[in-house]
Structure 1
Amino acid sequence: MVIGGLGGQRREQPQPRRQRPQLPQGDRRTHLPASVLLVLAGIGYGYLPGPNLELDPEVVLYLVIPPLLYGAALQSSLTALRRNARTVIGLSVALVLVTALAVGCGLNAVVAAVPLSFAIAVGAAVSPPDPVAALSIGRRAGMSPRLTTLVEGEGLLNDATALTILQVAVATAIGGRFSVGHAVGDFLFVAAGGLAVGMAVAWVIAYLRKAASDPLTDNALSLGTPFAAYVAAESLHVSGVLAVVVAGLWLGHRSASLQSSGARLQTRSVWHLVEYLLEGYVFLLIGQQLPAVVRGLAAYDPGTVVAAGAVTVGIVLLVRPMWLLAAAHLPARMHARLGGDPRPDNPPLSGRELLALSWAGTRGVITLAAAFTLPASTPARDLLLFCAYLVVLVTLVGQGLTFAPLLRRLRLPGTAVSRALTRNEARAAAVQAALDRLTALAEADPGVRDVAAPLRRAAEGRHKRYTERVALLSHVEDQVLPVDDRYRAALLARREMIAAERDELLAWRDAGRLADADMRILERELDHEESVLPSLPPS
């Protein structure tokens, strides 16, 4: 390739570029999930000489949990949650309550020194699953969209239930009085207040976003939203967790009308980075708490420690599948069937789906943060902290290691192929709408008529590709995505063309013919085009 104006000198043709690696979700050599590796690394580091990170419940609840919940809520589907509302509420409210009571009664039975109220408080701490690890593993292993929605919805709402139960249990233990009506009233007040605060914060942020024209300002508002919602709710003594979730769900659902395309691109990138860093910090933090938790067990009889740990972990592991099976077999007339009403678009979950959902109950940092909020005067506090930590360790590592193999063995139907089919049908419909709009514009405006031909040819080419892909996917029987050799070759060629364009721009920049500021503008154009290309299918 000859660069004009550089004395006719030739430079070597660039070698084909390797595809850029994505953020690691696990180690490719060990095939272990990143969450498990980070927890094990944290445990190993915790036993090395030197200071460790201490789990401060206030820091976790105010600085870590809100952005993690908000980032998950932005990516969740409000429509899908509405469709599965009955199931999600059953998992995130009723199941949490049942688990908390069962664990509390079990601990109170085997450790006489622990009052029932404090035992229920620990049960509330270990009852809410943390979907971060389960979803990161499940998406890679091909978890179906419906199960993903249920796990996401459960994880978004169950924290508020668990923290409310814990607060009521601790207040009862300290005050010595308990009233079912008072407890239910407190719960309803906290939940309704969280909903109201979340909607109020979302409305204010939406108004500010419409007034903001700069993507950076929009991103600053996005980053501040979960903290604003959480602090506002907690200051009113209502559920900050629920306020964050409601704000994230509503703003994520309205992002198309509230944000510009540039702001949406930046917001997604920013939140992917925030989630990646916070999740890594959380898993390392969990691992580093083991030495401190174990040190507190010296004052207890080993038999008591084993019994308390076994009862807590056993109940947590057993209650979830038992609840799912019971809910799945309730009579349809009771409108409590898992998965909602047996409509064609929302049928009851199959046995394999129930098994996968029952194994998606990994616990995380909010369990530890909640357990660490127990008052210092709590009887057998160190033992209760150990029980909570053991649940986190067993579910996060044990279920984390076995979840992906379980999903692959279950061979859940209609996952990758059905989603790809729906996406291509939507693409074809969107392009057809664009062609119809172009035809209307050309008929109304002679200026558009003169430039419509190349635009129409490009859109018709895309429409043809999408309809051909739909026809191919519609006849797939083995639920394995077909590989089109022509499509793969075209995709590889386009990636290499973009790499060549980028190399040429770098050569102009290095030769002094292109300013760095202009280089960044042109490079950003190529980056956007490359970012929308699908990943290269296997050969």
Structure 2
Amino acid sequence: MVGAETLLLFALAAVAVVVAVRWFAGRTGLPAAAILPVLGIVYGLLPAPDITLEPEILLTFVLPPLLYSTALDASLMAIRRNVRIVVSLSVILVLITALAIGAGFHHLVAGASLAAGIAVGAAVAPPDPVAALAVGRRVGLPQRLVTIIQGEGLLNDATALTILSFASAAILGDKFSATAAVVRFVVAAVGGAAVGAVVAVGVGMLRPLNRDPLTANAISLATPFAAYLLGEHLHVSGVLAVVVAGLVVGHHAPRAASGASRLQTSAVWRLVDFLLEGFVFLYIGQQLPDVLQGLRRYETSTIVTAVLVSVGSVLLIRPVWLLLTQSLPRSLHSRLGTGQHAGKLTGREVTALSWAGTRGVISLAAVFTLPIITPDRDLLLFCTLTVVLVTLVGQGLTFGPLVRRLGLRADAVDEARLRNEARSASVRAALERLDDLAVVIGEKPGRRSAEDAAAEMEAIQVMRGLLNQRLARYQGRIDLLQNAESPEMPVSPRYEAALRVRRAAMDAQREELLRWRDAGTLPDEGLRVLERELDHEERLLPERPSR
């Protein structure tokens, strides 16, 4: 039993390692998700206390917030446009992978049962998109592929955990019925989606409370656990309930929360993701030495065969399935959706998606839920951990170079043009609203005094001038982007000069405020209020001037 002081020291050390790895990953371009498990293995080999968590802890306290945060950032409309390929990967491919590994264990691994093989197959079948998305976004992976990877990672866990529950029941001697399994799967999926929708509606009913940033944070942090627990209590998919709740809440967030609440909630979830993901990947690597101890009673040939079946199936079935589904007639692919995301994937896109199957926390947590009496449990644990490490380290480290070699890049110029067109449209809407207000004030002054009406008209004129300046700036940016002759983001000397001047002015303002505080003229409370004003203004500036 690990003491509280030891646990605290481990947590502090883990935070230090996660921070250091993030810094290192930012300097080298290597994915942190691939580096952390390696460091976890190193820690596990040291004569230091190991941390062991019950699988229920990972499934209940770690998985829901990670899934919910990902769902909040996902696009419900984009997933709907690509729903068929997302379902193909997150449901059918997971089922095929689990059954293939189960058959391989049954026929090739000495003494292994079909149920045990399907169990480990279900555990390793669902990809965890954290590493692939982190790398993909950094190298400019096209948005359609990001959406597919994201949607697959959100929905495949429910499929895998349902299959695993059937396999665990068979291991314990329960009679298996294909019809009952299909019915149970449908009930779990539909019920989980319904629970998630109900929770999202409940969160929507709390809309007045979401105007307060602290209250909004509390509600947001509680939502994934409420959805998961309610789903599990009703014996449906708690994982799917979390995902649906996150997708619906994220879709309605622009209308349901204040700007301050959205800014603070987004920052909180980024911190939660950063810490939880870092700890989980360290924990994955740390389990390897303990798992190795349980393999002493197996023949080397048995271990090698089991690992080859597991790793080989995971690496080979995915590209084969993608190639098969994309070889269907073009008329069928036209029904995948509408708009710019519809149609067949190109060969380069299939290659990238084939290598985006990194496994993670759900695989580790799932396999550890197998009953202790499961035959060959230690072998199943080792196979799962090997698949996780091979995909996290192998695919995670090579996914970025592969995407670059394939030449798959989002059209940054086109995306920037679209954003500026949207900005221009919003400014025009604001100008039209000001015109309407001016007409109302002029024709129906109501209870306004002449002085109040004049003040409002003056304010409208000032705001109209500011908006027209902004509209001219956006239009100039659109013209520059439309005339760009290369895929590289065009540079506007005037735009970048304006950004440098704005940053220099902000720095001077902060320095002056600190001088007032240090001189005792401005209290710290006042300093924090004024600093927040500058922080919000600075947040509006792009990280890179060329954006």
Output the TM-score relative to the length of structure 2: 0.91
Deviations 1:380-428 (A, max 9, x none): 1111111101110010000010011111111125432222121111111
The structure richer in helix per residue is 2
Match of 1:320 in 2: 318
Partners of 2:386 and 2:61 in 1: CA distance: 24
Partners of 2:334 and 2:401 in 1: CA distance: 24
SS of structure 2 residue aligned to 1:445? helix
Deviations 1:110-162 (A, max 9, x none): 21311101110110000000011111111001111111110110000000000
Match of 1:531 in 2: 539
Match of 1:120 in 2: 118
Deviations 1:160-219 (A, max 9, x none): 000001001111232342211110001011111111111111111221233454221111
Q: What's the CA shift for 1:322?
A: 0.5
AA matched with 1:503: E
Match of 2:16 in 1: none
Match of 1:510 in 2: 518
Partners of 1:206 and 1:509 in 2: CA distance: 42
Say whether 1:459 aligns with 2:467.
yes
Partners of 2:343 and 2:187 in 1: CA distance: 34
Q: Which segments of 5 or more consecutive residues in structure 2 lack a partner in the other structure?
A: 1-18, 443-452
Say whether 1:436 aligns with 2:432.
yes
Q: How many residues in Structure 1 have an aligned counterpart in Structure 2?
A: 517
Say whether 1:393 aligns with 2:389.
yes
> Once structures 1 and 2 are overlaid, which stretch shifts more, 151-160 or 251-260?
251-260
Q: What's the CA shift for 1:430?
A: 0.8
Q: Say if 2:495 and 2:545, in contact at 8 Å, map to a contact too.
A: no
Match of 2:182 in 1: 184
Partners of 1:101 and 1:477 in 2: CA distance: 50
Alignment of 1:7-26 (within 5 A): 24=22
Say whether 1:274 aligns with 2:272.
yes
Partners of 2:208 and 2:43 in 1: CA distance: 47
Say whether 1:480 aligns with 2:476.
no
Match of 1:284 in 2: 282
Say whether 1:356 aligns with 2:322.
no
Q: Say if 1:416 and 1:481, in contact at 8 Å, map to a contact too.
A: yes
Q: 2:413 aligns with which of 392, 399, 417?
A: 417
Task: Give the share of equivalent positions with the same residue, in percent.
Answer: 55
AA matched with 1:458: L
Partners of 2:369 and 2:329 in 1: CA distance: 40
Q: What's the CA shift for 1:308?
A: 1.0
Q: 2:507 aligns with which of 482, 499, 512?
A: 499
- CA 1:126/1:25 → structure 2, altered by over 3 Å: closer, same or farther? farther
> Once structures 1 and 2 are overlaid, which stretch shifts more, 89-98 or 461-470?
461-470
Partners of 1:366 and 1:212 in 2: CA distance: 31
> Once structures 1 and 2 are overlaid, which stretch shifts more, 162-171 or 345-354?
345-354
> Once structures 1 and 2 are overlaid, which stretch shifts more, 220-229 or 348-357?
348-357
Partners of 1:172 and 1:361 in 2: CA distance: 28
Runs of 4+ in 1 over 6 A off after TM superposition: none
Q: What's the CA shift for 1:297?
A: 1.1
Q: Say if 2:490 and 2:546, in contact at 8 Å, map to a contact too.
A: no
Match of 2:54 in 1: 56
Q: 1:199 aligns with which of 192, 197, 218?
A: 197
Q: Say if 2:110 and 2:302, in contact at 8 Å, map to a contact too.
A: no
| CA RMSD across the alignment | 2.0
Q: Say if 1:342 and 1:348, in contact at 8 Å, map to a contact too.
A: no
Q: Say if 2:98 and 2:122, in contact at 8 Å, map to a contact too.
A: yes
Partners of 1:82 and 1:503 in 2: CA distance: 49
Deviations 1:222-262 (A, max 9, x none): 10000111011111111010000011111111112211111
Q: 1:468 aligns with which of 470, 476, 483?
A: 476
SS of structure 1 residue aligned to 2:172? helix
Q: Say if 1:87 and 1:339, in contact at 8 Å, map to a contact too.
A: no
Match of 2:447 in 1: none
Alignment of 1:25-174 (within 5 A): 27-174=25-172
Match of 2:8 in 1: none
Q: What's the CA shift for 1:492?
A: 1.7
Q: What's the CA shift for 1:467?
A: 1.5
Partners of 2:379 and 2:545 in 1: CA distance: 51
SS of structure 1 residue aligned to 2:324? helix
Q: What's the CA shift for 1:31?
A: 3.2
Partners of 1:73 and 1:421 in 2: CA distance: 26
Q: Say if 2:82 and 2:337, in contact at 8 Å, map to a contact too.
A: no
> Once structures 1 and 2 are overlaid, which stretch shifts more, 150-159 or 415-424?
415-424
Q: Say if 2:142 and 2:408, in contact at 8 Å, map to a contact too.
A: yes
Alignment of 1:232-311 (within 5 A): 232-311=230-309
Q: What's the CA shift for 1:475?
A: 3.1
Q: What's the CA shift for 1:348?
A: 1.8
SS of structure 2 residue aligned to 1:254? helix
Partners of 2:86 and 2:437 in 1: CA distance: 45
Alignment of 1:332-351 (within 5 A): 332-333=330-331, 335=332, 337=333, 340-341=336-337, 345-351=341-347
